[in-house]
Chain A
Amino acid sequence: MKSYVSILLILITLMSGCSSWGVQPWERNKLAEKKMQLEPAPLDSYLDAHIYYSKESSSGGAGVGGGGCGCN
């Protein structure tokens, strides 16, 4: 339980400290490119996760969104 609380605190600190990071809405041209996404090749990631899940004993971690063109 204690480790979860510290991890959450780190996440929250990162988030609040992050207002100095970032770009203006019109500066997202590179971030909008397909190759600049967190998952540029979702099927590669899926097939890899499948292989490693059946050859190793770990799992999890990846799989949420964000980044991109930030439109609308």
Chain B
Amino acid sequence: MQLKKSSSVRKMLAVATTSLLSGMAHSANSSGDNGWEMDSAILYYSEADRISVIEPVVSLRKDIGDENFLNFRFVLDSLTGSSPNGAIKTSTAQTFTTPSGNSNYTTAANETPLDPTFHDTRGALNAEWEMPLNKTTKAIFGANISAEFDYQSLGVSANISWDFNNRNTTLTTGAAYNADTINPVGGVPTGLTAMSASKSSTGSGDNKQVIDLIIGVTQVINRTTLMQFNLNIGTDSGYMTDPYKILSVLDGSGNLRGTDPYLYEKRPDSRTRQALYWKTVMGFSEDVLNLSYRYYWDDWDVSSHTVEMKYRFSLGNKHYLQPEARYYVQDKANFYYYNLVDGALPTYASADYRLADLKTSTLAFKYGIDMGNDSEFSVRLGKMNQTSNGDASFEDVDATFVQLNYRMVF
């Protein structure tokens, strides 16, 4: 029986990005002809032997007069495949219960246990209204809604920007609030209790609230250089555990313990996080360099550095080729364990490799063609590799993605 279930933590986190960090075009560069600008893309992302995602997205922008604009974005996100359930590989085959408790799945000896029942589709809609407050001040109000089989989210956001120094400097402040509800298959398991068909459950559902604040300064340096510096502070409170993930418990001799060898994970119910972000855009004749750095830290003791660089080579005035590179390194959460050991249990524990010491390296190429009449077609191809950066030696994740974009006005 194919069970419909999603990677809830992934979805929970993904929704938060749609509010403040919407990335929808806010520049003064719309066609301004009282027409529509459409930007669309489809992403195909695939991890070797694991999950695959197909994600079409379309965004629309309309000039509604008097320097007011409406922005809409709709995205569909369809996920299939299998994902690590948090248990470690052992020298013998293992059997796990599915979240509904209705069936089991097995993993062969010496293989990383993967839950094969991932299959879900999510839809999300984001709308924004951009309005001038006076000649040098602008506000953007947004709302977003997202839904999938076991997860729903609603959110609102507000941003205000002020221009000064002859519009060479822009100060922006923003706030966003998101409320999420999760109704996992089989109910919410009680953290750090045994995985079983009749699991201990805290009830049918749970929720989470996310607040984000941002303050940023953008500065024109010269005719061809722009720089931005942002500080983002956020708090998450509520249910943040992945209800479908477990930890293996080993005995004193390094084997799975006899009773209750698998426990559901348990994460704290609050998280306070900060991100410092710097970005520069520099033009070199018709080429453009895009460079950014982010330092992130939170009270789960996760901290990370992200460096991203893109260089757009202009190939004549009709097309371009842009190599892109990203490097990310993360320090693990203070409740991350590769596996637990029989004895006193910690208050919080998770074996989700995404909380571990890790590095992500990405290399991509984007090729774009100007089709005339303010339209552009582009294709982007990339490879991402994730590997353990510490003692915990989870398996590498290798992913490839292909993205097609089309932008036009009408």
Contacts and interface: CB of A to CB of B under 8 A. Distances in A.
Interface in B32-49: 39-41, 43, 45
Contacts of A32: 28-29
A28 B167 CA distance: 10
A61 B226 contact: no
B45 A51 contact: yes
Nearest to A47: B43
Given A63-B23, A65-B27, A22 B159 contact: no
B323 to A, nearest CB: 13
A8 B226 contact: no
A22 B27 contact: no
B345 interface: no
Contacts of B378: 41
Given A14-B219, A46-B22, A69-B28, A57 B354 contact: yes
A2 to B, nearest CB: 13
B279 interface: yes
Interface in B251-277: 273-277
A68 B17 contact: no
Interface string A24-58: 11011111111111111111111111111111111
Interface string B325-357: 010101001000000000000000000001100
By CB atoms of chain B within 10 A, which of A50, A56, A61, A65 has the most?
Answer: A61
Given A46-B57, A55-B360, A57-B355, A64 B17 contact: no
Contact of B25 (A18, A28, A42, A48): A42
A23 B222 contact: yes
For chain B, the bracket of interface size reads 35 or more
A30 B283 contact: yes
B215 A59 contact: no
Contacts of A51: 45, 384, 401
B1 interface: no
Contacts of B40: 43
B170 interface: yes
A38 B313 CA distance: 17
B343 to A, nearest CB: 27
B80 interface: no
A61 B305 CA distance: 12
Contacts of A61: 21, 230, 232, 275-277, 294, 296, 306
Given A58-B302, A61-B275, A68 B28 contact: yes
A10 to B, nearest CB: 8
19 contacts: A4-B233, A18-B219, A30-B283, A33-B283, A39-B25, A40-B288, A41-B405, A43-B23, A47-B55, A52-B328, A53-B13, A54-B7, A54-B354, A55-B360, A57-B333, A62-B230, A64-B174, A66-B161, A67-B226
Given A38-B279, A62-B277, A65-B161, 4 more contacts: A39-B26, A54-B10, A63-B22, A65-B170
